[in-house]
Amino acid sequence: MKRVLEGSHSVAEAVRLAKVEVISAYPITPQTHIVERLSDFCADGSLSARYLRVESEHSALAALIGASSAGARSFTATSSQGLALMHELLHWASGARLPIVLAEVNRALAPGWNIWADQTDSLSQRDTGWIQLYCETGQEVLDTTLQAFRLAEHVSLPAMVVLDAFFLSHTYEPVDVPGQREVDRFLPAFNPRFRLNTETPCAFNQLAPPDVYMEMRRSIQDAMEEALAGFSQMEEEFSGIFGRRYGAVEPVECEDAEIILVTSGTITSTSRQLVKELRSRGERVGILKIKLFRPFPAEIIRQCLKKARKVAIIDRNCSFGAGGIFAQEVKAALCDLAERPVVFSFIAGLGGRDVTVADLENIYTQVRNQEVPQRESIWAGLHPVPAPELNR
Amino acid sequence: MQLELPDRDYMFPGHVACPGCGAAVAMRFLLKALGEKTVMVIPACCWSIIAGAYPQSTLKIPVLHTAFETGGAVASGVRAALDMRGDTQTTVVAWAGDGGTFDIGFQALSGAVERNEDFIYVCYDNEAYMNTGIQRSSSTPYGAWTTTTPGRDWKKMRKKNIVEALVAHRIPYAATASIAYPEDLFRKVAKAKAIKGARFLHIFASCPTGWRIPSEISVKIARMAVQTNIFPLYEVEDGLRYTINFFPKGYLVKEYFRLQGRFKHLSEQDLDQIQTMVEEDWKLLRHKAGMS
Amino acid sequence: MKNSTPPFVAHSFRTTEGNKTGSWRFLRPRYDEKTAPCAAACPAGEDIARIEMLTSQGLFKEAWETILMENPLPAVCGRVCLRPCESRCNRREFDEAIAIRAIERFLADTASRDELKPSLERFASRKQRIAVVGAGPSGLAAAFFLSRLGYGCDLFESAPEPGGVLRYGIPSYRLPAAILAAEIEQVAGSGFRLYCEKPVTKALFEQIGNDYDAVFLGCGRSRSVGLLIEGEEPGEVEDGFEFLRRINRGESPAFSNAQVAIIGGGNTAVDAARTVLRLGGKPVLIYRRRREDMPAFEEEISMALEEGVRLLELWTPLRMERKEGRYLLTLQQMRAFDTAPGQKSRVEPAEPRSTMELSVIHILKAVGLEAAEEWQNPPENSEKILRLSDSVLVRSPSIVIHGGDLASRIRSVSHAVASGKEAAIALDILFQKGPDEVLPGLESCRVGNGPALSLEMYMRGPRCARNPHVVVFDEINRDHFQFAARLVQPRLLAEERSRGFAEIDLRISAGLAMKEAERCFNCGLCNQCDNCRLYCPDLAVVRQTDSSARSIDYDYCKGCGICVVECPRNAMSLEKESAPRAQR
C-alpha cells in the first residue's frame, strides 16, 4: 500500500512489520521521530514489543544486548553523540554475535553543536563489526530495515541502517508499505543458535584467552564475508517477494562512463539529476552508489570502476588526517588493478551543508579538467573563514 | 544446630576465586536461595574471572557476561526478552561488584530502578576494585589503604551509602546482607525473589587479597563488620519501611580494623573518629527505623 | 539463502571441575576431632560431648549406649555423681554449664522405661576366670567391664542385696531402691554371676585367690573412724553411714520432734541430717569449717537447709554428757584462716574462746570410714605392686586388684566405676600382653590428658582417632552460639520433700532434655552442623550420601581455612601443607 511517509516513519513501519520484540532507545535529534512513532505503535497495540525507555544510548544498546542474548528480535535508533556513546557496546554486540538492528540517522558530531547531516558518526564505527547499509530514499529505508534484520540474523552480526539527517529522516515521500504476510515470508521469526535459557544453561561472553580470542575474531571476519555473499541472495529473495532490489552498490550509467561519481546516501539523488543533465549534453558520466559499506564490496566496486578514466568520490565525512572515508576504501579497493582510474576525493556537505546540483557540477568540471587531483582530498564549497572580532 | 538452608548448590568446584573469597561464598548462598530458574547478568568484576574462562562455566545457571557499566541495563533487556517469550517464572539477577554498582554502573542501575524493572540487582561489595588490583572505589571505606590511596593518602572520604541512594528511588525492596549471616541472607533473597519490580541486595563480601587479611578469617571479618555496626543488616520496603535485622551487643570498631592490613596505618585518633562516624550512621539508621 | 557458518563465540560447554585448584594449597584443613573438657574430667571417661550430641538429635538409645560403653551405672550416676564434668564445661564461661547429669539420668530412665537392651561391643571369650568381691559400684563396674572383655566373672556380696553403698549408704530420696535394682539387673545382663549373702572372709579370700585367675577386691570402707569426743562411750554415737544403712534396710526410728546432732560436712552427714528430718527429728549439722568448705554437694546442703536442717558452721564438739535421757553436747567455736578462694580453709579455736550447749536425743557422726578389715587394704609398695590411678594391682602370691574406695583417689561413685574399669583393662593387658605392658597399655586409652580411661579406646573404637588435646573455651567459635538458660531441674517443694522419702528430683521431658543437650558446644566433636561445608567458597567439603560424614576434596580445596575457623567446636585443624603436591 502506497503511503506518504517521513523517512523516520519508514523505519518505524519496517520495525513494526519486522515484529520486533524489544525496543530500547534514548532520545536524540534527529532520530526521535523513529522512536516516537514506535512508542505510538506500542501504545496502540499495533506492535507488541517491550519498549525500554532507558536513561542513555549506552544503556539502550546494553539492554538490547541482554534482550538479543535472551532470544528477542531487538531494535534501537540513535544519532551522532548517541552512537559515539554506544561505541563500546557496538563492539560488544558484534563480538557477542547479536543480530541487533540499529537505525542510525547521520548527524554531525559536536562541538559546536550541530544536528544536521554528516556521516562521520557512523563511519567512525566502521571497525566495530557492524553491517552498515546506507540509504537514499524513504522506500529504501523501509526495505533496508527489513533486509537488515534478515541479513543480521543470517550471519549473527548486528546491522546499522544509515540515513541522512533531515534530508531523509524528515522528508516525506510516497512509500510502498508492504503487507504483513509478505514481510513474514521474507523475515521469519528470530530463531538464534544460542540463547540464554535455563534448560540448557551456559555462560556467554566469558573470558577468552589468547589461545581462542583470535579465532573468535576471525569468525567475525568470516561472517562479514558471508554477509557480502548473503546480501545478494537475500536481495534475490526480497525482490522475489516485493519486486524491488538495490544492490550492494548501484551503478548508474557506468558502462561507458569516462568519469564516475561515487556517492552514498542522499547525495546520490542529487547526483542522479546532474548525470541526467550531463548525459543529455553528451558527457560520458556515471554514478556508483555505495549502499553496503560493511562488509565492503570491494570486488564489485573494482568491476564497476575499472573501465572509467577518472573516479570522483564524494564524502560527507572526514577522517581527519586522512581524508574522505569512502575515498580511502575505494582507493584501497582499486589499488590491486594493473590499470586503474585516477581517483579524486571530495569532501562536501559536512554538518548539513547543502550539496546542490551546481556544487556537484562544479566537482564534475574540476575532475574533467584536471588530469590528476591537486590535493589528497578536495574540500568542496568552502566559505572564507571570518576574521575574529574581539571584544575588548 | 544446623541451619535450615537448601542443600543443593548451583556452582561447580574448580572456579578460580582467590582462597577465602567472600564473593564466592556470596554467590553460593545466593544461588542456593534462588534455584535453577535463574538467569544471571555479570558485568565486569572479580566474578568475570571467577566464573571461568572459555569454554568453562562454574555456574549451573545461564550467565551473560557484559560490559562494566551495564548491569542494570542488560538485566532490563534480558527481563524484557523473557517476558516477551512468556517466561515470567525465571528470575533475572544482575550480579555486580561495588565498582560496577557504586561507580561506573550506577547510572544504568539508577535508570533500571527508576523504571522499576523486574529483576534483582545484587552488589557483592568487597570495597575496592579488586579484580584490577585493589584500587579505591566509592565503596572503599574511610581510612582504607588501596593501591590508588597509598601511604598517607589513604582514603579520607566516606563510603557511599548505596542502599540509601536506592531507597531514594522508592525501590520496592532493598536490603543489606552478609556472608557471615547465611540465614538472614537466604531469607532476604527469598523475599526479594517473591517481590515484583526492582530489588536490590547489598552483600558484604570480604576479600582476603585486598583487605590484607588471612584467608581463614574471611567470614569472621564479615561477621565482625556486622557486630561492630560497620555494616548493619537491615531492609527497606518501598523505600519507606525500615527493619533492622540485627542489633549488635557492643560496637567497638577497633578490633575489626586491627585485623586488617588495609587499615594498619590508622592511629588511635583515626579509629576514634571512625567509631564516631559509625555511631552517627547507626543512630541515623535507627532513627529511620523509627527507633530513635 | 545458504546456511551460514555457526559463529565461534565465547560460550561455555564445560564445567570448571577440570581445574584442580587444590594445587594452589599451602595450608591443609582436616577433620581433627579433639577431646571435650567434660569427658577429660569425667572419672569414667564418658564421651559426654557425643552423648549430648546424640541426645540433641533425639537418638536416646544411642546416647545411652554411649554412656554404657564407659559406665554401667547411668541411672545411679545421673542422680548422685559429683559432676566434675559440669565444673569443667566450657559453656560455663559463656552462660551456664550443661546439665550433664540430668541428661544422663534422663537417658537411663528413658532406656529403663522403654525396656531397652543395649547392644555393646564385647571381646571374644577368654579362658581366665575372675572373682569380684563386693557388689558396690566398683565391683559391679569391674564385673561389667571384665565380662565385656570376655572374662567369666563371679561377684560375691555379703549383703542380701547388691549395690553396696548405693543400696545402703544413699537415702532413697536421692536414689530410689527400685531404680538401683533395675540398673543392677541391667548391668548383670553383661554376663557375670552374682552371689549375695556371701561374705568374703580372709580365709575365703585366700581360697578364691587360688580358685580364680585373679580377684578384684571392691568391698569398700565400712568401719567408722573413731571420734574423740570427751565423754563419749562406745556405742553411744552412731556412725552416719550405719544409720543410713539401718534406714535403707527398712527401720524407721521416731525422733518425735527432738533435736539430733550430726557431726560432719560430707554427703553422708547431710544425708543423715535430711533422713533425721524425714523421720520427724530436728537435725543440727555441726561442721568445724565453713559452709563453703563442706565436701558435700552445695546443692544438697542448700536443699537440706531449705527443708529445715540447722547448720552450725565453725563449731566443733568439745564434750558430751548424759542428762535426763538426752545428751548435752558442748560445742566450741572455731575460726577459719588460710582462706584462699577455692581451697579448704584451716581452722583453730576462736579467740576469745566461746562455747555453746546443745541438748539432743541422738548423736550421729559422719567424719570418715575405713576398711572393715586390714587385709582388704592394698599392701605397702613392693616389687610386685603396681599403683594405678584408682586401683592397686598386686601380682603375688596371687593376682589381686584392690579397687573402689579401698584404692581410689577420690571416694565417689564415678571414681568407683573408674576403678572397676581400670582394673578390668589392667587385668586384660596383664593376661594378654604381660606385666610390662600394663602401664603403656593404660596410657594408650586415656581420655585427653587423663587420668580417665576409655573402654571404647581400649577396644580400638572410633574414639581412638580423637586428638587428646582438650578443647578450651577460647577455641570455641562463640559466634555460632546464642545465650540460653540452663535447664532448671524440676523438684519437689521443700515441704513435700521433708514429709517422706520420695525422690526429690523429678523427671524431665524428652523435649527439655533435647533442648538442654542442644546447648552443648560439643567441644572438639563434629556434630554435622555443616558450617564447614556451608561456608566453603570452593565447594570442597563433601557430604557422603550414605552417611552424614563430611570429607574434604583436596582436588579443589585451596586451603583458605574458613572451614576451620567457622567450625564452632574446634573439630578441625589447619596445618601447613607438608606432602609434595601432586603434579598436574
pLDDT digits (tens, 9 = 90+) for C95-119: 999 999 999 999 999 999 999 999 8
> Searching chain B, which residue's CA lies closest to the CA of residue A65?
B74
Domain count, chain B: 1
Per-residue confidence at C234, pLDDT binned at 50, 70, 90?
confident
Q: Which runs of E-coded beta strand occur in C189-299?
A: 193-195, 214-217, 221-224, 238-239, 259-263, 282-287
Taking residues C435-447, report their average pLDDT: 94
pLDDT at C252 over 70: yes
**How confident is the model at residue B3, as a pLDDT?**
59
Here the cell at position C382 is: 613392693
Domain of residue C81, CATH code: 1.10.1060.10
Residue-averaged pLDDT of chain C: 92
pLDDT in tens, A42-84: 999 999 999 999 999 999 999 999 999 999 999 999 999 999 9
Contact (CB<8Å) A230/C12? no
- The more confident residue out of C386 and A21 is A21
Contact (CB<8Å) B57/C14? yes
Residue C123 maps to a domain: no
**How confident is the model at residue A195, as a pLDDT?**
93
Contact (CB<8Å) A206/B53? yes
Taking residues B252-269, report their average pLDDT: 95
Burial of A387 per CB tally in 10 Å (0-12, 13-18, 19+): exposed
- The more confident residue out of C342 and A362 is A362
pLDDT at B292 over 90: no
Residues C296 and C323 both lie in one domain: yes
Is residue A58 within a helix (H) or strand (E), and if so which, with residue range? helix A57-69
CA atoms within 13 A on the CB side of B139: 29
pLDDT at C225 over 90: no
Residues C322 and C240 both lie in one domain: yes
Residues C159 and C191 both lie in one domain: yes
Residue B5 maps to a domain: no
Residues C504 and C535 both lie in one domain: no
Query: How far, in Å, CA of C225 to CA of C202, rounded?
Result: 22
Per-residue confidence at C325, pLDDT binned at 50, 70, 90?
confident
> Searching chain C, which residue's CA lies closest to the CA of residue A218?
C8
What is the pTM assigned to this prediction? 0.91
Among A71-85, B72-86, C200-214, name the one with the lowest average pLDDT.
Answer: C200-214
Neighbours of C116 (CB within 10 A): 16
**How confident is the model at residue C538, as a pLDDT?**
97
Residues C281 and C338 both lie in one domain: yes
Residue C254 maps to a domain: yes
Among A338-352, B76-90, C286-300, name the one with the lowest average pLDDT.
Answer: C286-300
Taking residues A248-276, report their average pLDDT: 97
Residues C303 and C318 both lie in one domain: yes
Per-residue confidence at C465, pLDDT binned at 50, 70, 90?
very high
Angstroms from C507 CA to nearest CA on chain B: 25
pLDDT at C466 over 70: yes
**How confident is the model at residue A276, as a pLDDT?**
97
* Residue labelled with grid coordinates 582436588: C555
Per-residue confidence at C374, pLDDT binned at 50, 70, 90?
confident
Say yes or no: C14 contacts chain A, CB-CB below 8 A: no
- The more confident residue out of C212 and A376 is C212
Among residues B62, B82, B60, B94, the alpha carbon closest in space to that of B192 is found at B94
- The more confident residue out of C337 and A181 is A181
Per-residue confidence at A126, pLDDT binned at 50, 70, 90?
very high
CB B242 within 8 A of CB B288: yes
Residues C272 and C343 both lie in one domain: yes
Here the cell at position B18 is: 582467590
In whole angstroms, how far apart are CA C419 and each of A231, A279, C166, C213, C405?
98, 126, 16, 19, 9
CB A268 within 8 A of CB A135: no
pLDDT at C232 over 90: no
Query: How far, in Å, CA of B161 to CA of C302, rounded?
Result: 58
**How confident is the model at residue C371, as a pLDDT?**
84
Among A71-85, A191-205, A268-282, C382-396, name the one with the lowest average pLDDT.
Answer: C382-396
* Residue labelled with grid coordinates 548517541: A82
Per-residue confidence at B1, pLDDT binned at 50, 70, 90?
very low
Q: What are the residue ranges of helices labelled H in chain B?
A: 22-34, 46-50, 71-84, 98, 106-114, 162-167, 182-194, 208-211, 218-227, 254-258, 268-288
Residues C314 and C186 both lie in one domain: no
Say yes or no: B16 contacts chain A, CB-CB below 8 A: no
Residue C392 maps to a domain: yes
- The more confident residue out of A391 and B22 is B22
**How confident is the model at residue C579, as a pLDDT?**
63
Angstroms from A191 CA to nearest CA on chain B: 12
Query: How far, in Å, CA of B157 to CA of B142, rounded?
Result: 5
**How confident is the model at residue C525, as a pLDDT?**
95
pLDDT at B235 over 90: yes
Q: Which of A295-309, C243-257, C368-382 has the highest mean pLDDT?
A: A295-309
Among candidate residues C518, C536, C557, the one where a domain is terminated: C518
pLDDT at A242 over 70: yes
Q: Is C228 helix (H, G, I), strand (E, B) or coil?
A: coil
Contact (CB<8Å) C4/A205? no
Here the cell at position B122 is: 545484587
**How confident is the model at residue A392, as a pLDDT?**
60
- Report the residue from B77, B107, B110 with minimal CB separation from A66: B77
Query: How far, in Å, CA of A164 to CA of A316, rounded?
Result: 10
Residues C90 and C159 both lie in one domain: no
> Searching chain B, which residue's CA lies closest to the CA of residue C478?
B220
Between B and C, how many residue pairs show a Cβ–Cβ distance under 8 A?
116
Domain of residue B131, CATH code: 3.40.50.970
Domain of residue C152, CATH code: 3.50.50.60
Query: How far, in Å, CA of C556 to CA of C553, rounded?
Result: 6
**How confident is the model at residue A123, as a pLDDT?**
98
Taking residues C520-534, report their average pLDDT: 94
pLDDT at B226 over 60: yes
Say yes or no: B49 contacts chain A, CB-CB below 8 A: yes
Per-residue confidence at C226, pLDDT binned at 50, 70, 90?
low
Whole-number percent of chain A with pLDDT over 90? 96
**How confident is the model at residue A208, as a pLDDT?**
96
pLDDT at C228 over 90: no
pLDDT in tens, C35-88: 999 999 999 999 999 999 999 999 999 999 999 999 999 999 999 998 999 999
Contact (CB<8Å) C15/B219? no
Query: How far, in Å, CA of B86 to CA of B221, rounded?
Result: 43
Residues C451 and C378 both lie in one domain: yes
Q: Which runs of E-coded beta strand occur in A197-340?
A: 203-204, 249-252, 259-263, 285-290, 292-294, 310-315
- Report the residue from A22, A56, A206 with minimal CB separation from B81: A22
Whole-number percent of chain B with pLDDT over 70? 98
Domain of residue C534 covers 21-33+526-576
Instruction: Tell me the chain C residues in contact with residue A215 when contact means C-beta distances shorter than 8 Å.
Output: 8
Tell which of B64, B68, B91, B118 to mutate to test the A interface (max A CBs under 10 Å).
Answer: B64
CB B46 within 8 A of CB C51: no
Which phi and psi (to 5°) does residue C480 adopt? -95, 10
pLDDT at C562 over 90: yes
Question: Which residues are bridge partners to B39 per DSSP?
Answer: B92
Among candidate residues C320, C350, C367, the one where a domain is terminated: C367
Among residues A167, A139, A161, the alpha carbon closest in space to that of A356 is found at A167
A37-46 b/e (C-beta count within 10 Å ≥ 16 → b): bbbebbeeee
Residue C534 maps to a domain: yes
Is residue A221 within a helix (H) or strand (E), and if so which, with residue range? helix A210-242
Residue-averaged pLDDT of chain A: 97
pLDDT at A158 over 90: yes
Domain of residue B261 covers 22-288
Residue C319 maps to a domain: yes
Here the cell at position B227 is: 557486630
Residue B225 maps to a domain: yes
Query: How far, in Å, CA of B147 to CA of C116, rounded?
Result: 68
Which phi and psi (to 5°) does residue C168 adopt? -110, -15
pLDDT at B147 over 50: yes
Query: How far, in Å, CA of B218 to CA of B211, rounded?
Result: 10
In whole angstroms, how far apart are CA B128 and each of B49, B124, B146, B201?
16, 11, 8, 18
Contact (CB<8Å) A74/B37? no
Residues C232 and C360 both lie in one domain: yes
Taking residues B228-256, report their average pLDDT: 93
Is residue C28 within a helix (H) or strand (E), and if so which, with residue range? strand C27-31
Residue B210 maps to a domain: yes
Neighbours of A3 (CB within 10 A): 15
Domain count, chain C: 4
Q: Which domains does chain A have, with CATH numbers?
A: 2-190+202-242 (3.40.50.970), 249-379 (3.40.50.920)
Residue B145 maps to a domain: yes
Tell which of B3, B5, B11, B15 to mutate to test the C interface (max C CBs under 10 Å).
Answer: B15
Residues C233 and C343 both lie in one domain: yes
pLDDT at C139 over 90: yes
Residue C15 maps to a domain: no
